[in-house]
Amino acid sequence: MGETSGYQLGVIGALALSVASSVAIVICNKALMSNLGFPFATTLTSWHLMVTFCALHVAQRFNVFETKSIEMKTVVFFGILNGVSIGLLNLSLGFNSIGFYQMTKLAIIPFTVLLETIFLKKQFSQKIKLSLFVLLLGVGIASITDLQLNFVGSVLSLLAIATTCVGQILTNTIQKRLNVTSTQLLYHSAPFQAAILFVSGPVVDQCLTKQNVFAHKYTPVVLAFIILSCLISVSVNFSTFLVIGKTSPVTYQVLGHLKTCLVLGFGYTLLHDPFTERNILGILVAIFGMGLYSYFCTHENKKKQNSDLLTSSQIKERETTPLLLVHHQDKDNHEVKKSNGIINKDSLV
């Protein structure tokens, strides 16, 4: 029971850290990009990952965590895949309307469920699927405004969905299969994610903004917000790997939509963004769906734990019961043979 309580506290802590850091970095980046005119999102992400790796390297030097060797081919593939998925998501936002981009993000959950069902043979109950549908419906109502389709944007969105889903599923499976922590996996993969984005970031940003990131005027205020964003990103990247490792890619996506609702709420209260009754209705429906998902997941996990305990107790009974039966059977046979006067050497133990 103590281990279970500790695990649950760890999950709650990871979820809280992920929500708090993500909302903080969104507000920081919104100020940096909208108010200070720094629109280079992909390049900024590469700087985030570089700072994250440096922070983890310093922590490793001070023995905060132990490194564990991971096959280089796995780390390189994983790092490049995650870097490409970030670039594709940014390109999708650039070539699509806001509404279609939100649809792309919503499609990640059902696509992840489909991939895990087909390739990992994972089963999702009807209650879980219903709660996910309610959640997605609420986020859709709250955030989707217009749907403008174009061929290039649609292809980029499909590629972004596929790479994001595979990357998040791999985050979970690699940690469990290789028995590595979220910190160890992030430490090994961050340099490759940063490298792919550092090379492609300026090109992607040039394509989207028609501006050169290296020609931008870096005022002290802009530099201060960039540094703050990079520092917050260490917590964001760490909590992302932590949440996916402790829960599942689907749960992480559910958490991501909660963040969307919180960002909308903070935008209205703190930044005075325009807000409608539709936004409020969507947020309430999404929170209700997230509550259903959390309840059904907790209920099914408890049922699974009880089933595992029952199974283990049955195995122990099978291991001990035959010995008792043999002992009683030998004793009964001994009494029968003694009464018949046919005691032999085999019955005298």
- Rounded CA separation 149/321 (Å): 67
DSSP letter (8 states) at residue 217: -
pLDDT at 44 over 70: yes
Which tokens hold the place of 160? Answer: 């972004």
pLDDT at 320 over 60: no
The band of 231, judged by pLDDT with boundaries at 50, 70 and 90, is very high
pTM above 0.85, yes or no: no
Q: Domain coordinates of the chain in residue numbers? A: 1-289
> What's the rounded mean pLDDT across residues 321-325?
47
CA atoms within 13 A on the CB side of 93: 15
Q: What is the pLDDT of residue 333?
A: 47
Give 114-172 pLDDT, tens digit per residue: 999 999 989 899 999 999 999 999 888 887 766 677 888 899 999 999 999 999 999 99
**Lowest-confidence pick of 67-81, 273-287, 301-315:** 301-315
> Quick one: CA torsion of 245, 52, 36, 26, rounded to 10 degrees?
10
Single out the residue of 85, 75, 99 nearest to residue 45, CA to CA. 85
Radius of gyration of the chain (CA): 27
Q: What is the pLDDT of residue 101?
A: 83
**Lowest-confidence pick of 41-50, 82-91, 220-229, 242-251:** 242-251
Q: What is the pLDDT of residue 245?
A: 86
- Rounded CA separation 311/305 (Å): 10
- Rounded CA separation 113/111 (Å): 5
Q: What is the pLDDT of residue 303?
A: 81
> What's the rounded mean pLDDT across residues 32-36?
89
User: What is the DSSP secondary-structure string of 55-118?
Assistant: HHHHHHHTTSS------HHHHHHHHHHHHHHHHHHHHHHHHS-HHHHHHHHHHHHHHHHHHHHH
- Rounded CA separation 92/151 (Å): 11
- CA distance readout (Å), 296 to 19, 38, 308: 21, 42, 18
Percent of the chain at pLDDT > 70 equals: 82
- Give the CA angle between residues 133, 265, 163 to the nearest 5°: 50
Q: What is the pLDDT of residue 12?
A: 83
User: Position of tokens 């005119």?
Assistant: 37
Give 241-287 pLDDT, tens digit per residue: 988 888 889 888 888 887 777 777 766 666 566 667 888 888 889 88
Q: What is the pLDDT of residue 224?
A: 96
